[in-house]
Structures are given as structure tokens and as C-alpha cells.
Amino acid sequence: MSDAASRDDEVREAALAGVRVVEIATGLAAPAATRLLAEAGADVVKVESLDGDPTRERHPAAFASWNRSKRSVVLDVDSADGLEGVHTLIDLADVVVHDLPAARATALSLDTASVTERHPGVVVASVPAYPVGHPRADDDVSDSLVQAAEGLMDEQQGHREGPVFVRIPYSSWSAAYLLAAGTVARLVQRERTGLALPISTSLFQGALSAAALYWQRWERLPETLTRHTLPKIDPDAALSIFECSDHRWVQLAGAVGGWIESPPVLEALALMDRVELSEIGVTRANQEQWNEVFRQHDSEWWSAVLAEADVPCMIVRELGECFTSDQAAVNDYVVEVDDAVVGKALQAGPTVHTTPRSVVRSAAPALGASTLDDVRASWAVAPTRPVAPTALPADTRPLAGLRGLDFGTAIAGPFGAQCLSDLGVDVVKVEPLRGDRGRVLTQFAGSHRGKRAIALDLKNPASRPILDGLLERCDVVLHNMRLAPASRLGLDGPGLRATNPRIAFSHVSAYGPAGNMAALPGYDPTAQAFTGWEHAIAGEGNPPVWLRSSVFDVQAGLASAFGAVVSLFQRERTGLPGDAATSLLAVGITASSELVVDPVTGQASEIEVLDAGQHGLSDTHRIYQLADGWIAVAALAADEQAAFRDVVGAGDPADALAGRSVAATLAAMAEAGVPASPVRLDQLDAFHDNPVHHTLGVSRTLQTPGFGQIDLVGGWWDFGPAPADESVPALGQHTHEVLRELGLDTDAVESLLADGVIGVAPRVPTLSD
């Protein structure tokens, strides 16, 4: 069989084979989401204007990556005939995806209510800048303006005082995973119940997914915590990047005290007569002294000796450099694609590996390569849609009624399981008697909302009947354990389905399941270093910096949630669930997919580079300091750029704007049609005190046994306010409850407790104490 025929066979058998998707969107978030669907087997038709998606011209390599595996049809949605053609496609589809602001969607009758009325059975999936009900719901999609308006550019420590432009469009990438996962979850619901309900997220919610790890207010800290472990100023990882003698940098991870006490570091300190640094630790004031220590050897030497000492250490690469690494190749995280515009090049491969495997179906289509008649002919047979019930259930979340188990630790795996909980799964966290190591991090609260928790010693043979009981009634398992120990516990795909053949399984690793880095522990800082983002976000010519938002931990969790729901959909369609896998490396490479790499020379295509002052990418896409604050401008189209020049006048825009007020400048920009926003500062309290955010469910005030009352960020999809009983579980809080559900009586539970097989939560103070 030829390679092409083999690939076609893989596509026909793929998890989402037969699913038809109409995409009406431009830019990054929605196209990236539909590419995830397409490479899992869906047939995606991209509807474009006569001029095409602007990304085609502005960023050809990005368009090639984000829009491959699709078809392109030209239809003018602003004309009656074009809009009718769009509705013709929607009538034959299973899903319609758009990124339209609320007013624009309504004007085109592409809002949820209109589409649902005209096309019953179709899932409407949307990812605008802001959700309906938000004061900025009519804003056009702009990653940088969302980050600026919400205060997130003020949450990153930069090389100067004040807010910084964040080079990675993480709001859009997170929103893409949220949209893809939510869409497939609704398809699972449609298969199970006949209901075809809408799903909506936004760039706003994508940005907030990372803020969940640090935008928190607590009544108290649990005993396992003494401080906020992800502070804005000088978080540990940001102080653990050092220059070596070859002028390359290394990023260390794990506890700072751990690597300081490692033999290679202590030996280097002793040889330099600087042992006192081991007692002081690393501070901003002495970081240059630590650089002098690391400059005694080159980056390869440090990487090797620290690895031998079991200290996570990664050389900070340039963006795109990892595309040619053995680790990326052996795990199929890059794929060679022959694109008509950018040529034959290495592109970021499918982010989530599924069984059957997600594959690249084709290069990105030429504008209008397919016609409306072409698509109608290929979709001639009307889609089969389950019969909808006459009444809505009490819980309309897509995965309500399903059960899940979270065996993960720290952030990435648990964050994915938290997403499943938000989608309606009853998630039980299973952790050792001593607790998840992530409980020593404040990030724990931001990745464990809505779960129940039991403490179980999985290494004790007496725990096996309990584990089997949990698995026998489980629908989906998600974790980020290393696969070798997971396999020994029967918690890999084959092991799980030996107990329950219907379990869907999704796994998160650090660098993929294969290759010489497969067994390395996973840390967001080392993933940012390996993929080159620590250089890209630092600004041209600056030392590398770590993006405090832990975006790859978060996005790996989001991607794993997508993998989990794809496996569940496959189970509903075929009766056979699949495995899904992603990694910190996979999402890091995917975030780099705005570039492609020459497979012969290893040269990366040109991309926009952040300036040394960390202000932005160009005069018309950056942040500016004014007399009384900051503004962000995102004038990407030619007419917007001309209007910007008219507002600021001749000369350097930074000089022209420096003496103006924020309010007057933004008013002038709005009148001229220039996309702009204030760059807000110190927004933690303002965010949680905003009643609109509580109504939307993105700010949640919960009662917890460990933190007391806690304000957390949540609500990645538009499901409304937090459930009344949502909390962050204490270690072993629900052990009794879950074991009773398995049929164990009080005596049996007490016996297991006495034998050290299970653990239960101690009593903690309450608000009434």
C-alpha cells in the first residue's frame, strides 16, 4: 500500500471520521481548534471571504500550519447569496465554528439561537474575544488586546519596570484547546442523549486558564504551604536561568534548594571559594554572581553533570531549534509538509496523538480550492443525528453522568482532569497517603476545582480491590505519571482496559513517550527552554526569561482533556475507546507553529520578533506608555495602520503619545477605527470583585477545607456561575464517601485505614470556628 493510501485509510478510520465541520473564522484560535478536529478525522470546510483569511498574507507559515487538513470555500457572508451558501453547508454539517463578536454574529443570523432554530442537531461552537454578557462582548478577536485589558501584561516580570508585551499568544492557544475539547464533548453528549447544545469559550477565558494558577485570594493557607509559590516578582524558576561559558543559557527546575545542594554546583562553588552562595540561595541581587559560577563550564557540560545528579536542567534553545531535535522526530511532534506557498518544510505535527492516530490529511488549501457544489456533492448523504429528547436534563453540561479518575500530580495532568470536571464528569482524584506533591504549591488550588479526593496506597497489594472497583465504574482516566511506573500499576492503556474495556485514557508526559528524554520529569520552565520560548518572550538581545503563567503546563492539561473527549467520542461511536497522549513538548512545539523549518538546513522561517524593550512587535502592534498609564495597539490591517498614523501624527509614535492621556487617546483611536485597549495594572482584586465575572462563572468564591474561603479563576466554557458545592478537596476528604459507593461498610473502611491502605482527611478549621 502506498503512503498516501495508508494515510487515507488512517483518516477514514480516525476517531472523528464522519464528523462534518464548517469553520467561519480567521487568525489563530478557531482555525487551530478546527485543525485539531481535522487531524483527528473530521472533515473541516473553511469558509473565507473573497480576500481570504488575512493570515494567508500576514503570516504565510502560520496559515500553512493552522489551516492544513481542511478544504477552503469562498463565500461572502455579507451578501445574501453568500450567507445562504453558508447556511446550506451548516445544514449538512455536524458542527459550525465561528469567532464572531456577539453583535456581528446576531447581525448575520449566525448567533447560537438563530443557528439552532434553523439547523436543529448542529453543535454551534464559538470563540470570540469575550463571552456574551461581558461588557466587551462586541470586541473583535485580538490576543494582545485581551491580555492588556485584563491586566495580564502586568503579571510577567520583565527586563524593565512596568507591563510587558507577552510574545506568545497564549490566550488564543488555550482558547483553541478549550474550543476543540468543548466541541467534541458536545458531540459525545449528542451521541449519548440526542441533545445538540452549543459550546462557547473565548480568548478571555483562554487567558484566564493560566491565571487560575496565581490569581487567588485565600482566607488562610493550608499547613503544607507557607507562601504563594508563583509570585509575580522573582518566582523560583525565573531565578534559575544561568549563562554558561559558551554564552548559552541553562534553565534549572525543581526546588531551588535541591539543585543548589547538588554535587556539581557545590563543587563549583567550592572551587571559586563562593560556598556562602549555597546558604544565601539565588536572589535578583546575586544572580550575576551565580552566572559567574555557571560560566566556569559550557552549557553541554552543565546539562550532562546535572542530569547525572538528577537535577532537571535544559539548555535554552532558539525558537524553532527543537523542530530538528531527535526528541521531536521520534515522537512525531514535527511533520514534513509540502505547502504550495511556504514549500517543503517541517511543521508542528498533531498536538495530541490518538488511536487511531491523528494525521495530517493535506497541506493548507488554496483560497477557494473547493466550491460549494464540491462540498455539497461530498456531503450528499444527510448526516445522521440522534433524536433529541423533548426536555432538557437538570445538568446540561456535556459529560454529566460520566465518571473519571485523576491519578496525576502537580499541574498538567490534574489541570486536564479539572477540565473534565468542568465539562460534567464526576472526577475522583486518587493520591498517595502523603498527598500529591503538588499540594505544596498554591497552583494546586487552580488545578483541582470540582473534584473529590481519596488517599490510597497503590503500592500496597491490599489496595488492588479498591482500585479495580474504581476502574470498573469509570469512563475516563487521565494522568501525567511516567508510563513505566504507571504500567506496573496497570494504569496505562492496556492495563486499564484489562480491568474495564470501556475506559478512555488520556496521558500527559514531559517530552513524549519515546526517545532518550522520555523518562525525564516534566517542568514547565524546562519545556519553555527546550522549545525556545524563553528567548522569544525575553525581547531581542536580552537574557532569556521564564513566562510565569506556566502556559505549557496549562496547555498540556487542556490538550489532554481534548484527547480524553476524543477517546470518549470514539467509544460512543464504535464501542471501543482509544488512548490519547500529549506532552509539554508537544504543546510547546504547537505554540511555535507560526514558523516552519527547512528540513535540510534547519533554518527557521522569519517571524515577528519582540523588541528589546519588550514593548511589542511593530509600531502598530505594541504597548505604549502615556502620561497617566499604558495603552495597547493592535492595528494589523492596512487601513487600521493608516488610521493609527493619522492619530499619532508624524515621527516616533512613542514620543508622540508620551504626553497624552489614556482616556483621550483611546477615544481618538476608537473614533478612527484603530483597535486599542488600556493596559491595566494590578487587576487581581478588581477581577474577583467584579460581579459580572461571578455571573459569568469566571470568578468563583468557594468554601474549602484547606484554604477556607478562596477566590479562584474558573469557568472556561459558558456554563454560568460555579456549582454551589464546588470546592478544592483536602487530602482524603472523600475517602469514606467513595468507598461507601463501592459497597464497603464502615468496618471494612476502618480496617483499611488501620492497615495503612487508605487515608482520610483530618478535621480542619471551619468558618464557624
For the stretch 93-136, pLDDT in tens is 999 999 999 999 999 999 999 999 999 999 999 999 999 999 99
In eight-state DSSP terms, residue 160 is S
Long-range contacts for 734-737 (Cβ within 8 Å, ≥24 apart)? Answer: 734/428, 734/452, 734/453, 734/454, 735/453, 735/454, 735/455, 735/456, 735/759, 735/760, 735/761, 736/760, 737/452
The SS3 of residue 267 is helix
pLDDT (0 to 100) of residue 762: 73
What is the percent of the chain where pLDDT is above 70? Answer: 97
The SS3 of residue 390 is coil
Identity of the amino acid at 137: A
d(CA 758, CA 463): 8
Calculate ∠ Cα 207-211-212, nearest 5°.
120
d(CA 412, CA 213): 11
What band does 256 get if pLDDT is binned at 50, 70 and 90? low
Identity of the amino acid at 459: K
pLDDT tops 90 at residue 384: no
Q: Is the dihedral of CA 669, 670, 674, 678 positive or negative?
A: positive
d(CA 615, CA 679): 12
For the stretch 165-176, pLDDT in tens is 999 999 999 999
pTM of the model: 0.96
pLDDT (0 to 100) of residue 10: 46
d(CA 166, CA 679): 12
Q: Which segments of 407-532 are extended strands (E)?
A: 426-431, 452-456, 476-479, 504-509
pLDDT higher at 722 or 608 = 608
What band does 768 get if pLDDT is binned at 50, 70 and 90? very low
Give me the DSSP letters along 733-748.
TTHHHHHHHTT--HHH
d(CA 410, CA 418): 12
Give the residue among 176, 172, 511 at the shortest CA–CA distance from 325: 511
Determine the average pLDDT of the residues in 599-611: 97
Determine the average pLDDT of the residues in 588-592: 98
- Out of 147-161, 288-302, 381-395, 505-519, least confident range: 381-395
pLDDT (0 to 100) of residue 258: 80
Q: Which residue has the cell 459507593?
A: 741
Neighbours of 394 (CB within 10 A): 6
Determine the average pLDDT of the residues in 452-475: 98
CA distances 160 to 80, 95, 164, 595, Å, are: 52, 46, 8, 28
For the chain, the straight-line distance linking the first and the last C-alpha, in angstroms and rounded, comes to 72
For the stretch 539-561, pLDDT in tens is 999 999 999 999 999 999 999 99
Q: Confirm if 375 and 93 have CB atoms less than 8 A apart.
A: no
pLDDT tops 80 at residue 530: yes
CA distances 667 to 131, 273, 516, 670, 680, Å, are: 23, 60, 56, 5, 16
- Mean pLDDT score of the chain, rounded to an integer? 95
Q: Confirm if 747 and 470 have CB atoms less than 8 A apart.
A: no
pLDDT (0 to 100) of residue 390: 80
pLDDT tops 80 at residue 493: yes
pLDDT tops 50 at residue 769: no
- Out of 134-143, 329-338, 381-390, 728-737, least confident range: 381-390
Give me the DSSP letters along 573-598.
HHS---EEEEEHHHHHHHHTTTS-B-
Give the residue among 507, 508, 509, 512 at the shortest CA–CA distance from 496: 507
d(CA 507, CA 408): 9
pLDDT higher at 665 or 225 = 665
Instruction: Determine whether 436 is exposed, middle or buried from the number of CB atoms within 10 Å of its CB (0-12, 13-18, 19+).
Output: buried
- Out of 1-15, 146-160, 383-397, least confident range: 1-15
Chain-centre distance for alpha carbon 345: 25
